[in-house]
Amino acid sequence: MISLPLVFTTAASSAISTGFTLGYRPLLDPIAVDDYWLVLLLPLVFAISLVYKTIKLDDLTHLPRQAIYLAGQIVAFMVLTASALWLMGMLV
Amino acid sequence: MSEKPSEIKPQWHPHAAAAGWIVPGLGHLILGQKKRGIILCVSILSLWLAGIFIGGISVIDKYDRVDSDVSSAKPTRSWWFFGQAMIAPSFVVDVMRERMAVAHAKALGYPNHANPRGLLDPVSATSASTLAPPYEPSFGRVAEQGILYTALAGMLNLLAMIDVLYCDPNARRRAVASQASDPVPAAEPIAS
C-alpha cells in the first residue's frame, strides 16, 4: 500500500474487515478527522463570514478585515453559548 | 453627491441567478461585478470541495444515509441534499456516485438491488469480499462535517443567487463612488 499520513488511511483500515487492501483515493474516500472535527468548524465559520461580507459590503476594500472580525464574533458567541450551557449543566 | 433611494432601479436577472447556480459567482461576473464574483466562486467552491475531500463522495447523496444498509428497501429522501442542491455540480456528483454504486452492485451479482449504496458498507455488506468498492462511505463526525460543508456551501450560494436575482448592478458602484466623493466633512472652525 502507498505510504500515506495517518489521516488518509481510513479506507485501508475499514478494508481490513472486507478482506482487501485499499489506498486512499482523494475525493472518493473520507479522511480520518474524527478527533479534529471541532477544529474544522473554524474554516467553515470563516468561509461563511467571507461569503456573507462579500454580498453585504458595497466596497470590498476592507473585506478581509471585516470577514475576520465577523468570524471572531461568531466563534466568541459560540464559545460563550457553550460555556453557558456547560455551566447550566453543571448547576442543574 | 450621496446616493438617493429613488436612484436605485433594481431589475430581475434570472439568467444571472441561473448562471450562479451552475457556477457559484458567475452571476456576479455576468453583471459586471468581477471582484465579487471571483471571491464568491473561489470561497463557495472551496467550501464545497473541502466537504467532499473530508467526507468523500458519499456525503453527496439524495437519499438518507441512515437507511444505507443492504437489507433496507428504497431509502427516504435526505433533507441535507436540498442544501447541497443549491450548487448544480452536486447533481453531477450524485449521479456519478449512484452509477458507481450500481455498477458495483451489478459486479457483485445484485443487478436490481434497491439500495446499491448499502453494498458498500463494510459492516453490513455480505459479499463484498472480492471486489474493491468504488468509494468508501463515511460515517460519524467525518460524514457530519462533509455534509455540513457541502450543504452550507449550497445555502451560501443561494444567498449569492438571491443577491443577483433582483438588484441594480450599478448601485454598489455608485455607492462606492459617492463615498469616495463625499469625504467626512471637516470640523467647523470654533467661533472666537
**ipTM of this model?**
0.81
Distance of alpha carbon B102 from alpha carbon B119, whole angstroms: 9
Q: What is the pLDDT of residue B12?
A: 95
The pLDDT of residue B109 is above 90: no
What is the rounded average pLDDT of the residues B43-69?
86
What is the rounded average pLDDT of the residues B89-102?
92
For residues B91 and B35, the answer to whether their CB atoms sit within 8 Å is no
What is the rounded average pLDDT of the residues B27-44?
96
Each domain of chain A, given as residue ranges in start order, spans 6-35, 41-91
Q: Please check whether residue A29 touches B, CB under 8 A.
A: yes
The predicted-structure confidence for A50-82, as pLDDT tens digits, reads as follows 999 999 999 999 999 999 999 999 999 999 999
Torsion angle defined by CA atoms of residues B48, B51, B53 and B55, in that order, rounded to the nearest 10 degrees: -150
Determine the distance in angstroms separating the CA of A54 from the nearest CA of chain B, rounded to an integer. Answer: 6
> What nine digits make up the cell of B17?
441567478
**In chain B, what residues touch A29 (CB-CB under 8 Å)?**
56, 135-136
- From the list A17, A19, A47, the residue facing B43 with the nearest CB is A47
The pLDDT of residue B106 is above 70: yes
Each domain of chain B, given as residue ranges in start order, spans 12-177
Number of other residues whose CB lies within 10 A of the CB of residue A86: 10
The pLDDT of residue B192 is above 50: no
Q: Please check whether residue A6 touches B, CB under 8 A.
A: no
Q: Which region holds residue B78: left if phi is over 0, alpha if psi is between -120 and 50, else beta?
A: beta
> What nine digits make up the cell of A69?
472580525
How would you write chain A as a 3-class SS string? CCCCCHHHCHHHHHHHHHCCCCCCCCCCCCCCCHHHCCCCHHHHHHHHHHHHHHHHCCCHHHHHHHHHHHHHHHHHHHHHHHHHHHHHHHHC
The pLDDT of residue B99 is above 80: yes
- From the list A28, A51, A55, the residue facing B135 with the nearest CB is A28
The predicted-structure confidence for B136-178, as pLDDT tens digits, reads as follows 888 889 999 999 999 999 999 999 999 999 998 888 888 888 8
What is the rounded average pLDDT of the residues B74-101?
89
**In chain B, what residues touch A17 (CB-CB under 8 Å)?**
122-123
The predicted-structure confidence for B6-24, as pLDDT tens digits, reads as follows 567 889 999 999 999 999 9
